Every structure is written in structure tokens, then in C-alpha cells.
Amino acid sequence: MNVTGLFHGARLLKFVDYPVAEVLGPDASNAEIQSLIERCGSVFIKPIFKGGVGKKGKAGLLGRAKDLGAAMKEKERLYFAEHTHGNTKAKAEGVTFEGAVPADIEVYFSITDSTEYRAPMITITHHGGMDIEELASDQIARVPFDPLTGLKGFVISNALKSIGAPAELISPLVQHLPKLWDLYHQYGMTMLELNPIRMKPDGKGRLIPVACDFKCSFDGDDANVARLGLPDDLDTSSYSNFEMEVNSLRTYQGQSDVFVINEQGSITAMTFGGGANALVTELLGDSASISSDFGGNPPYAKMHDISRIVYKYWLKQSNVLFIIGGKANNTDIFETFRAMADALRDYFNTYGPTPIYVVIGRGGPNLIRGMSYMKDTMDALGVPYQMFGFDSAMSEVVNYAQAVDEWMKTGGREIVAKKLGCSVA
């Protein structure tokens, strides 16, 4: 689950007493908006998107007004704005009115889980703003730290000094940024980003780091997220029916994470494990219909339901059903393969055969029993298949799946359809 913007972000930051810009929601009255303009000089009008979607500023989805009339015009323009970034499409459901914060310096700050260091890591620069991606390496600091001791002030101080930040920034940031570790660590976040933090003068010669935008991601399986009291439907507006069906199967045991990559994809990959998911998604590119992670030793019933949903939405258009994962430690391969094979048999019985080629690459407990069950099922259905064990390089198995997909596109699909006695469409 993702949260962007200050509509919910301001409330989360107040949990840890972090300074944040004044914000009004879409139900704000004209009098409240006018009062905010009078206090702050102007307001920024931003669309509210459920879930996370980036590059809104560069897409022009940001308005600024110094009077009520202009604010209402921007509200009309942005209230139901549509935005596409990469494969993510979103439609706004209202706007926020955020008080302008006077400042000469903007700071970027984030906390993420680093796979490189196997530890949380901060990213910080005093060259914040929309062009953060274009900064040179010596203008931005990326520093891992020990999660047992948490984010301490000296980590912030050393990071800022390493990139030559002005001295007047260091003390206020050292005082306030460590508060964000409590929010990140105690409430199940996997990423927290403030951009920009505007360094506002307080009239006494000191600067206050005020958060003017907010972004975070949550571990959906972490029960601590519920303590924040966020709406249940916060991250569902841009989900497809397929994603919502699979996500409804979330339980304490087994992963059920999916994301639609390409609605016209020709390879449907059911992957097991985060590493497999990252590798397969990157290598398949636009050929993949979905990105998925079904590891964590799912029980038979859950894996059968997941497979049934995946087949219902994607099997008809796919050339390759790709079942792939590394060598599992605790996932029972026989149970997961039996569930997927039974669901495939159920699909053929319900919808009729479809020209599909099954490619499997896996390792782990009860692998031989699982592959034997798959083999018997494929032979009974007449579906062509190829299986690879734990001693096969995953990247090579992906290459094989891509080669099969190309063969299916250049006549193989007709051959398989003729064998199964079904249409090619």
C-alpha cells in the first residue's frame, strides 16, 4: 500500500511531531481556503490520488493561487485529473489546498530498505525539488545505518557535511529528521520520502524543516499499519479487478502480491520469491502480463484459488504459462504444483482448452513429486511443457520462455491449437 500527498501524510507526520505545511482537504469551505491564503500568502492546489503515482509536478498537476477565485479555478482543473506514469494510471478524487512555505533552500530526504547493504538507508540532499534524479553523485548522500540503534543525529550530520551542506541547515535537520525513523520503523513502512522539505526561517535566526510533500509505502502484511487508522480503501482505486481478487486472498501464510504490467502481455509468469520476481519482471519486459510473488509456503487451498484467478484473467491471451522460482527453503513444491495443476485442469474443464505452452523452473522440498504431478496433468491435457530443476540458471530459463513465446507467435500457437482441437484466438 502506498500513500502520497499531505492529505493523509500530514496526519502521519503529526504522530511524531514533525513540522508540516498547513493543509485543507477537498471538503474545505471557501472561508477556510481564504483564511489559509491570508495566513500563507498563497496556496498550492494538488490532486489527491489513491495509492502512489509519481511525476505529478512535471506533468503539470500542480496549481498555485494567491486569491480565492484562482484557487477555485485550479480546483476545477485538478479535481478529477487523470495521470499516467509508466504503467500506472490514476484518476484524482479531489484536491488539497496547502499553505505556501517561504524558503530559500529545499531539502530531499528518504528512508528505504537497502538490498545492497541489508540495512535501512537514508538519502539526503540540500538540492531538493522535482529534478532530484538529475543531481550529480557528489550532491546527494546515501548512507546506511544500524536498525538496532536507529537513525541518530550524527548520521544526518555526517551525511550533510559530506556533500557540503550549509552549516545553518545541519542543526535543525539533526533535531527533526530522526523523528521520521520512529514513523518508519514503528508503523510498518518500507519507504518514506519527504520532497521538498522547505527550510523556513522562524524569525529568530533559525530554520525550521517543514515537510511540503509526503510519500510512503507500507508492508501490507505488517499489522502495525492498522494502528495508523488509514482508510481501508486507500490504495484500491487504481487496482484492476484481477489485482483486487488476488489481494483479497492475503493471509498470514503465503505471499499474494500481483501487479498488472501489460494487459496485452503474452507470457503469464507465476513467480515465487522477491528475487525471482525482480529478475523475471525485468527480463520479460513488455512480454509479461503480470508481476507476481506467490512464495512464503502458501497452503493448497490458497494456491489453488490464486491459480484459478490468474488463469481466468490471463490464460486465454497467453502463449506461455511460466512457473518460476529459486530453490525454496520451506515452500512445499508438491503442494503448490498440485494446486496449480488442479486449477489448470479445472480451467480446461470449465472454459475448454486453450493453446498454451507451460515452462517450469523451480527447486525445493518435494520437487520431484511436484514435477511428476505436473507432468501427469500436462500429459492428460495434451499441453506441451518443459521443466527445469534447481541446477538451471534462472536467467536461462527466462530466455527459454521467451524463445517459446516467439515460436508460439510465429506458428507454434496454431500447431498447439490443432493438437488440442481448439481455436487459436
Q: Do 386 and 359 contact (CB within 8 A), yes or no? A: yes
Q: Do 266 and 289 contact (CB within 8 A), yes or no? A: yes
Residues 6+ apart with CB under 8 A from 172: 199, 206, 207, 208, 209
> Residue 422 has what pLDDT?
86
C-alpha grid cell for residue 187? 508503523
Residue 323 and residue 263 in one domain: yes
Q: How many CB atoms lie within 10 A of CB 135?
A: 15
> Residue 243 has what pLDDT?
62
Residue 38 included in any domain: yes
Q: What is the CATH number of the domain that holds 208?
A: 3.30.470.20
Residue 425 included in any domain: no
Question: By C-alpha distance, which of 86, 13, 74, 1 is closest to 281?
Answer: 86
Max CA pair span of the chain: 82
Q: Sign of torsion, CA 331 334 335 336?
A: positive
CA–CA dist 286, 265 (Å, integer): 6
CA–CA dist 187, 227 (Å, integer): 7
Residue 119 and residue 175 in one domain: yes
Q: Do 296 and 331 contact (CB within 8 A), yes or no? A: yes
Amino acid sitting at position 174: V
CA–CA dist 196, 216 (Å, integer): 14
Residue 144 and residue 80 in one domain: no
Residue 96 and residue 107 in one domain: no
Residue 301 and residue 358 in one domain: yes
Residues 6+ apart with CB under 8 A from 414: 355, 424
> Residue 238 has what pLDDT?
53
Residue 16 and residue 52 in one domain: no
Residue 111 and residue 217 in one domain: yes
- What are residue 291's phi and psi, to 5 degrees? -110, 135
Can you give the pLDDT of all 425 residues of the chain as single tens digits?
A: 678 888 888 899 999 999 999 999 888 899 999 999 999 999 999 888 776 566 666 667 788 999 999 999 988 888 887 777 665 666 777 889 999 999 888 999 999 988 778 889 999 998 877 667 778 888 899 999 998 889 999 999 999 999 998 989 999 999 999 999 999 988 888 889 998 899 998 877 789 999 998 888 887 667 788 788 777 656 544 556 676 677 666 544 555 677 788 888 999 999 887 677 778 888 888 899 888 888 778 889 889 998 999 999 999 999 999 999 888 877 889 999 999 999 999 999 999 999 999 999 998 889 999 999 999 999 999 999 999 998 888 889 999 999 999 999 999 999 999 999 888 86
Residue with cell 483479497: 248
Residue 269 and residue 204 in one domain: no
> Residue 252 has what pLDDT?
44
Q: What is the CATH number of the domain that holds 90?
A: 3.30.1490.20
Structural domain that includes position 232 = 1-20+102-238
Strands 290-293 and 257-260: antiparallel
CA–CA dist 17, 208 (Å, integer): 13
CA–CA dist 69, 216 (Å, integer): 33
Residue 302 and residue 342 in one domain: yes
> Residue 248 has what pLDDT?
62
Residue 303 and residue 168 in one domain: no
Q: How many domains does the chain have?
A: 3
Residue 181 and residue 115 in one domain: yes
Whether the model clears a pTM of 0.95, i.e. scores above it, the answer is: no
Q: Which residues of 271-284 are buried (b: 16+ CB within 10 A; e: fewer)?
A: bbbeebbebbbebb
CA–CA dist 325, 362 (Å, integer): 5
Q: Which of 209, 238, 267 is the last residue of a domain?
A: 238
- What are residue 152's phi and psi, to 5 degrees? -100, 160
CA–CA dist 114, 108 (Å, integer): 18
CA–CA dist 48, 92 (Å, integer): 5
Residue 350 and residue 398 in one domain: yes
Q: Which of 100, 131, 165 is the last residue of a domain?
A: 100
Cα distance from N-terminal residue to C-terminal residue, the chain: 36
